[in-house]
Structure 1
């Protein structure tokens, strides 16, 4: 269907009021250049989807037969305009997205500007509430990709903590830019509110490829998807240790090549081929004393000394079960062969032989913490197969170690999948709790914004009602918005109508409007209150007091004395200012405990103080918004769950401690370096 009105409007390819295209400012630093690259990547990914998005929106707008005639005509005109001029809308949307992304990045400055709620209209606040509800659906659908991107951006921006709501590339920013473009694009004010309710999965951006491309761009730039605090410290220790190892081997030249070198290697391997010593003792102990003097190069002696420390560390660790220690000791000869052939074992954390030792020790340590671990489970079988793989290899080639590492990693992935399946029930419960908490937060924010925006003369009974019962209504509306679009808009409009109904009326027209609107308002209020099952006597008292308030407004004299008007205006101004100040007070900065909670990664072990003894548990699941954490005892069973603030409080008080997770080889080599420097004050290193 075509409306003739557009025969004139569609002649111009761009709206007359359109702003000029946004150009990228010149880069002033590597970080700035990287952020500009990300902005260009995001805008390009969104633009690729714009034609399909515009076509879908135009079709949805035209499909409005169930609406009243006036609203139908607005939708038809808007849909036809979008069909005819989707290229113009694409340009507007791309420019708006660039502006919104740069604005979102600028908001991460140390002292962001505080929003003055007094300058925000009711319509704009309603749009922001609707925008938040639409964006939350996409936040939940792409939680993992957003979490990885948020962690990477924290590193890029050199911030110890970056929350999901601060991610400049979150769906809310994309959808907000789309709305800004829509406001520029549509000439009719009545069409402004048509866009947001239409945006849902299949009729909005597909954020999966956009977020994946952004993560890949940061990955290519060397930005890891890990929490910055612990990872940065770990990377720094690894780099320092690698540098020390390189200096150590640079001072230990290799033996002369040729027959003498081959003979010494053969003698060394012959010595190692004997049976293992009982009790799990390292077979490298005393090896140099048994070899002829001068048969080893300085580099070979250093290799043996360092590996001796590594396997002694395993032998001394009582947290690793004895059967696992025996498995690790069984790979001494293959590991020595690999280290003698390639000293990168000591420099590179991802060397296959080193990776195998780290995995075996870590899995063994975790097995020691798990209560009731089966004596012949799949992980133990995988560990034995990996040891057999390298023990049976004919040479020191990395292929055998790489194959063994692949076997262990595949077993760990299967175990992780089985754990997640076993925790499906607790995870589903936690997700419902988080969604409800997010909905409640959005409801409280909407009520606070309305009251902060109010003139300050609202009825105290109504204010208390909104802060309690209607907050419950808005929470429910946000919860069901995805299934029943328009629920948030309906509940928010009812709140606005109620607030208006209890404000002083300045003339006979406003009083007549009040009287005419009361039946519909009361019907909407009662329907929502029935849904939340508020049926006690307090409800009757509220409506009785509301009726008295409305009656007083209708009976009040139309003309007030000037002094009375001034007094009422001053009281309203003071109350409104207090509400705005309370609403705009920034949250306190996150302390070290809160940052530690936000830095936790799945698989981290923590120790919780108990009445009789400490309890060690593994972090098995983190909710998409990082508000809930589920811990496991290591046997695919839920131990307990904690909210983020409670976990932070336990870390703050010392009732919980994050256990160290430095790999075995790095710890042992660090101990060896300290010993060589005369600083070995520690009697042993625990593998964790």
Structure 2
């Protein structure tokens, strides 16, 4: 065990606020993961020692590994924590701008390293899908922190693959037996890995508390309570007046009077209640509260985008919301205040109800809104608790509605997932082939290069697609590709030629088996194998007694070709523009408006694929409207044929308008 080699490096001193924040993120991730490490090691040891799950031929190696882990798990915990911190720092360092290379020789990525990267990505894929929302939020926040237009999922230093890699590194250092090295990764699965949910939630919370905000999202729990000017004016309005240090003694009679009002009074205008209040029961802060809440409910009444029946429903909670705001002025400053959250939810749901083609009176969400309003209205003096209970009821109904929508869209979602997996598999296959061709591994053999770029890319794509059902498919297909590339490289001594002759039958059998799977059966296949046989024959028949000068010439030519391929300019990735950023910031539940030939159409974003490459929209009635790829959706936003509908919360919008009107009135009085 190489504990010394993997010891944790001392934390570097912070050199900037951003660096300090990154250090805090690393410490939080390592700390929470460390708390889970002992249970994880125990579960892994039990899995290794479970004879029923052992592959034939690996029983003894796994039993030895399991016993070692069980008996020396503390050493493994130390190595794993150190490896995780080291991997997180490495991943963050990779986000720094790369220095521009002038004439430095390019390094080739070894095959083993490439194969390891593919394997780690495959193991991490289920965790990427399970925590897609939290990872997307973290992507957006880290992009803001690092001043990048967008941070892609593969660039997130806290992505699941980094945790998988850290465990594998710790395992390699912990096990003295090389045969035990590949035993860990197949065991990592949901329920036998880190619980990433608390880690990702903690990282998002740290960034949020540090003021790292992301574009507003319809379902975000961190809603803005207004801009700085609005907050400043509100603080001034609620500053304690002279003679009423806290206003509590004056407010109590008012609250008692409000608690005694009949339930029907909840639908009356707040200004009427203000006029009816007992003499001397209103403080200056109370009057301000009533005036501002009156502006909020006036905004509801004038908002034609909210369904009429929901506007009437919202006015029934005037009294409990007033009681809650009088008791706690945090209503005006905190987006998550229960009474404020209730108004925002009701108005949002009323707006969505107006977007639907039909308004079913038995709609479960409508019935849920009615129940929540009744709950809030029945709260009496405990209005804040009643509002919190009403909010909990609404949020539970929304979660149930989301689940029902997802179940109703199961067919389109499954098709979209298959499409995304195929696209991801094709991208990985093309990258693997391109990397080898760029390294010059095919030499000057155009036949093999063309075969890899066409037929074998199809093979690798299929292997990636079935990897979860048939582990090892990617490894086998990749190994066959590398074996083919080796077979067409020059063989300059008798031993290499004998190895080629000995390995050809197995290679040809593997190639033919994979080509049968992709059903390549035409005459082109026969022609390829004929040309391949001719190439192999020429390698075997080539003269062995090459002069040193000829060998040097061949080596120089091979180096030149490899360098030429490496230096071919790659197609640069287009920078993310505002449209691409808007697509990356979208969340389920957002509404968009599309310009169609038959007119404008509003649809709800019902589902986002785990890799955020596909988006499914619904008509708001749990029916698929259509689906779009991410680049196509960005194109619609770019050319103006689609727009994200603003979803500013009701209370923030109403308070902003009221404060602006108040400022205008003050300016007018000063001018007079």
Superposed pair shares fold, TM > 0.5: yes
Answer whether contact 2:8 2:82 (CA < 8 A) is retained: yes
Are 1:425 and 2:422 matched, yes or no?
no
Change (3 A) 1:623 1:223: farther
The answer for unaligned runs of 5 or more in structure 2 is 667-672
How far does the alpha carbon of each residue in 1:479-538 deviate from its partner, in whole angstroms, 9 at most, with x for none?
222222221111111101111111222123322322222221111101001111112222
Change (3 A) 1:162 1:112: farther
Q: Distance in 1 between matches of 2:525 and 2:571?
A: 32
CA displacement at 1:391 relative to structure 2: 3.7
Are 1:125 and 2:111 matched, yes or no?
no
CA displacement at 1:20 relative to structure 2: 5.7
In the alignment, what sits opposite 2:123?
134
Are 1:170 and 2:156 matched, yes or no?
no
In the alignment, what sits opposite 1:653?
639
CA displacement at 1:470 relative to structure 2: 0.8
The answer for unaligned runs of 5 or more in structure 1 is 1-13, 277-281, 681-688
Pairing partner for 1:36 from 27, 42, 47: 27
Are 1:572 and 2:552 matched, yes or no?
no
Query: Which moves more between the two structures, 153-162 or 164-173?
Result: 153-162
Are 1:451 and 2:440 matched, yes or no?
no
Are 1:405 and 2:396 matched, yes or no?
no
Secondary structure, in 3 states, of the residue corresponding to 2:216? helix
In the TM superposition, what are the counterparts of 1:26-105 in structure 2 within 5 Å? 27-28=13-14, 30-31=20-21, 32-46=23-37, 48-54=39-45, 56-57=47-48, 65-66=56-57, 88-105=75-92
How far does the alpha carbon of each residue in 1:179-230 deviate from its partner, in whole angstroms, 9 at most, with x for none?
4345445567xx36x5336522467983342542453465478559997233
Pairing partner for 1:557 from 535, 538, 543: 543
How far does the alpha carbon of each residue in 1:615-673 deviate from its partner, in whole angstroms, 9 at most, with x for none?
11111111222222111111111111112222222222222211111111110110111
Secondary structure, in 3 states, of the residue corresponding to 2:107? helix
Are 1:484 and 2:470 matched, yes or no?
yes
Are 1:475 and 2:464 matched, yes or no?
no
Are 1:544 and 2:533 matched, yes or no?
no
Q: Distance in 2 between matches of 1:264 and 1:211?
A: 42
How far does the alpha carbon of each residue in 1:378-435 deviate from its partner, in whole angstroms, 9 at most, with x for none?
1112222233334455447323323322332222222122112111222122222222
CA displacement at 1:476 relative to structure 2: 1.4
CA displacement at 1:306 relative to structure 2: 2.1
In the alignment, what sits opposite 2:8?
22
In the alignment, what sits opposite 2:224?
235
Answer whether contact 1:171 1:207 (CA < 8 A) is retained: no
CA displacement at 1:53 relative to structure 2: 2.4
Are 1:324 and 2:310 matched, yes or no?
yes
Answer whether contact 2:409 2:622 (CA < 8 A) is retained: yes
User: Taking structure 1 as the reference length, what is the TM-score of the superposition?
Assistant: 0.82
Secondary structure, in 3 states, of the residue corresponding to 1:615? strand
Change (3 A) 1:268 1:23: closer
Change (3 A) 1:122 1:26: closer
In the TM superposition, what are the counterparts of 1:240-639 in structure 2 within 5 Å? 240-250=229-239, 283-284=269-270, 297-395=283-381, 397-455=383-441, 457-559=443-545, 568-581=554-567, 587-639=573-625
Q: Distance in 1 between matches of 2:302 and 2:203?
A: 44
Change (3 A) 1:373 1:227: farther
CA displacement at 1:368 relative to structure 2: 0.4
Secondary structure, in 3 states, of the residue corresponding to 2:598? coil
CA displacement at 1:595 relative to structure 2: 2.0
CA displacement at 1:363 relative to structure 2: 0.7
CA displacement at 1:568 relative to structure 2: 4.9
Query: Which moves more between the two structures, 282-291 or 634-643?
Result: 282-291
Q: Distance in 2 between matches of 1:76 and 1:395?
A: 65
Query: Which moves more between the two structures, 336-345 or 419-428?
Result: 336-345
Q: Distance in 2 between matches of 1:57 and 1:294?
A: 76
In the TM superposition, what are the counterparts of 1:152-231 in structure 2 within 5 Å? 161-185=150-174, 191=178, 195-196=181-182, 199-201=185-187, 206-213=192-199, 215-216=201-202, 219=205, 223=209, 228-230=214-216
Secondary structure, in 3 states, of the residue corresponding to 1:614? strand
Secondary structure, in 3 states, of the residue corresponding to 2:606? strand
Q: Distance in 1 between matches of 2:359 and 2:580?
A: 33
Q: Distance in 2 between matches of 1:320 and 1:671?
A: 18
Answer whether contact 1:146 1:211 (CA < 8 A) is retained: no
Secondary structure, in 3 states, of the residue corresponding to 1:641? strand
Answer whether contact 1:601 1:619 (CA < 8 A) is retained: yes
Change (3 A) 1:351 1:177: closer
Change (3 A) 1:176 1:385: closer
Q: Distance in 2 between matches of 1:74 and 1:257?
A: 73
Q: Distance in 1 between matches of 2:573 and 2:105?
A: 16
